[in-house]
Structure 1
């Protein structure tokens, strides 16, 4: 059932007290230092007290699970509040905020429901302001997780101004029948769907900026081919190029594809025209150049190249044609992903302990390691906000997809079903009908 049939009414978003100059609590997820905000989710209630529906309880549990992916929020427990549950209902007038304030609880969430109806509100405890309130109707068991995800997206947007984690889709490669096919799922692993059935090995997916297309490489007995999956048509098309290499296709912000082709005998990065024909190589070199990644302006491109020896990360200024070396540490740096604002690049580095993910601040000219294994951590990808980073890791046996932040917060695994999952690529989710 589509989301719009569930939404009965939007009660309130960002309600400011009349005549008050106090600012509503906000979180700068990009600022220096990450102070955690304490949030307490009160037990689900019925409209007139205890006895809420099973769906409301499931909604509450799912919201708390979702909050676990947000490192700037800390789930508080009832034993941190003097006297236990300080509420007798869902509204501000039904809550005693004093014990919450004494327990250093910043936000409190109330949940209630009857039958297929769910209500949820989040209050700032010190100002007693309602930050977010939603009511949902016609929610069934299969839709409660999606409703909870949407509520968390709106809460994140209220607190941070961003919601890319919840408003995004992951594409990744999984083993199927001796080969690899592409799958998609939400950033929370919901809606896991196989999207290709080409045979061979489908690798290196990359989303168009509007979330409609996925470009990828198909490797089979027919050689390397560029694959493009259309979300609207639910089908793929494959194209062969001259040479024996066609790898790491990447969409530019204006919808073109940059891809590494071996037209002249070694892989160079080419920009395809509207008819999918390559022009002259960009950032040409005698050495292999692969894995292009662009900022939102499309003027900056990072890529991996062996032009100075082992694989290192470089940046092309497309306005001037100048190429700048980005990585100097390590002898094997690959798979760069550039943040939307063009300030940060994440990449995989081979260390003595295996592959690890590093991040480089191109403005401060500083570098940090943000994953620490065990096993190998590879294929990093920025989320649409440039805050979260997905990657593939063998830390738990096999290969699975994990998510951290650009600050290196503890990684959490994304559910992707049975079997290995690798090469995650982050894109925007389609608009809800």
Structure 2
């Protein structure tokens, strides 16, 4: 089913160019700690020493001398054609060079060997498939932007299965989804209240005025999570309001609006900022200031920090800002444009999506080590991650099955050999199609 302007807007928002992403992935240790010079001497002394050539190739990969590394692995395989460390090393060097088709074929060759178990986590980390992933919605239509309840046992999402965007709720473990809204307008971006009893969402319902492009502006609404009853409008404006998110501590929500930019510009052209809405007295307070579009807010578990994206420097980058602070701090800016940042409960890592080489994938950034781990490596578009509070799972939106559906990653469950082989086969097919 063709997507409406909502998903197209995503491409516009983070559709700027982005370079190749350098991601931390564990290299296979040589186990001997030998320097390159010593290894070269070993190889010269005994050219048929396949283990020495593998160790030398691994050291050359660390030095980013990939052509030399491939040559060493090739020589090792001439001596011992079934030597798995040589096959893995060769594929890893080719992958780092960007030669994806032969690299993926090499990884699959390793996985097909009976002794492949030690190489499964190494290959998974290299290609960005470290954890088990399952599909949790299957249509009809597109099902996107899933959010966990604070308890982590339910999700709420938007779906166009009935013709336009409506809000649905379902258990995480899978069951029939319950439709909560019935309106000809588009109901979008739902989020649970901390106690799970209410859902806040954006909607074009009741919008009479239109912006210059013809798109209707969005207002914010609240309804009962159980059955969609008692719908109440919270925020309305002649401009646009979207992406409402509750504070886990309750009492307020943060959302995005272009209400303070009075320029007569086309839809999406005005500057967006974050605003805080107090549920007790309906008061509004502008949270972000300065140049740049701010969007995709997320409130940490303690309720004292807000994460968001800002394109003041060109691409969308990730910022954090204390709820009592007047300006944000740039947090993640290397690589391509980013979206939907979310922070772990302990504040030690962030998950987000990023565009690189015309593709969108999910990443984790660990703040203490400064390392970034790629969570998905699919040729499809993987976006809108949502962390399970006090849990280990991430729900996200992807079109890897054709239409846009919800998928879930479990950070406590490493990917299996079978899952990895299936994923690599899909990537290999896609890389051959692209090459053709």
Structure 2-normalised TM-score?
0.53
Q: Contact 2:192/2:225 (CA < 8 Å) preserved in 1? A: no
> 1:157 aligns to what?
none
Distance 1:210 1:165, change over 3 A: closer
Determine the C-alpha separation between the residues in 1 that align with 2:195 and 2:150: 15
Aligned to 1:212: 197
- Higher RCO, 1 vs 2 (CA within 8 Å, ≥6 residues apart): 2
Asked if residue 368 in structure 1 is aligned to residue 353 in structure 2, the reply is no
Which one of 237, 242, 245 corresponds to residue 247 of structure 1?
A: 242
Deviations 1:265-312 (A, max 9, x none): 132111112356453311322221111111111111111111222211
Q: Give 2:306's match in structure 1, choosing from 285, 292, 301.
A: 301
Q: Distance in 2 between matches of 1:167 and 1:335?
A: 18
Q: CA deviation at 1:234?
A: 3.5
Query: Aligned partners of 2:192 and 2:260: how far apart in 1?
Result: 27
| Structure 2 residue aligned with 1:203 | 188
2: distance between equivalents of 1:307 and 1:408? Answer: 38
Corresponding position of 2:179 = 194
Q: 1:261 aligns with which of 254, 257, 262?
A: 257
> Matched residues in 2 for 1:202 and 1:233: separation?
15
Instruction: State whether structure 2 residue 232 is matched by structure 1 residue 237.
Output: yes
Q: 1:181 aligns with which of 166, 175, 185?
A: 166
Q: CA deviation at 1:217?
A: 1.1
| CA distance 1:298–1:396, shift in 2 (3 Å) | same
Distance 1:360 1:386, change over 3 A: farther
The one of 260, 272, 279 aligned to 1:274: 279
Q: 1:359 to 1:220 in 2, by over 3 A?
A: same
* Partner in structure 1 of residue 430 of structure 2: none
Instruction: Tell me, yes or no, if the aligned pair for 1:243 and 1:262 is still in contact at 8 Å.
Output: no
Match of 1:226 in 2: 220
The answer on whether the counterparts of 1:216 and 1:248 sit within 8 Å (CA) in structure 2 is: yes
**CA distance in 1: counterparts of 2:235 and 2:158, whole angstroms:** 20
> What does 1:96-111 align with in structure 2 at a 5 Å threshold?
none
Structure 2 CA distance for aligned equivalents of residues 218 and 165 of structure 1: 23
Distance 2:286 2:218 in 1: 18
SS at match of 1:310: coil
Unpaired runs of 5+ in structure 1? Answer: 1-163, 413-433
Q: Which residue of 2 aligns with 1:67?
A: none
> Root-mean-square deviation (CA), in Å?
2.7
Distance 1:409 1:381 in 2: 19
Correspondent of 2:338 among 325, 333, 348: 333
Q: Match of 2:109?
A: none
Is 1:166–1:187's contact at 8 Å kept on the other side of the alignment? Answer: no
Contact 1:184 1:193 in 2 (8 A): yes
Task: Report if the CA contact (8 A) 1:359-1:406 is conserved.
Answer: no
Shift of 1:387: 1.4
TM-score by length of 1: 0.53
* Distance in 2 of aligned mates of 1:360 and 1:397: 29
Q: Distance in 2 between matches of 1:167 and 1:334?
A: 22
Deviation of the 1:319 alpha carbon: 4.4
Partner residue of 1:380? 385
Whether the 8 Å CA contact 1:165–1:388 is kept in 2: the answer is: no
Q: Residue deviations 1:124-182, cap 9 Å, x none?
A: xxxxxxxxxxxxxxxxxxxxxxxxxxxxxxxxxxxxxxxx9995101111114431111
1:389 corresponding residue in structure 2: 394
Structure 2 residues without counterparts, runs of 5 or longer:
1-148, 208-216, 262-270, 420-436
Mapped contact 1:214–1:229 kept (Cα < 8 A): yes
CA distance in 1, matches of 2:277, 2:288: 14
Preserved contact between residue 404 and residue 410 of structure 1 (Cα < 8 Å)? no
Equivalent residue runs for 1:17-32 within 5 Å: none
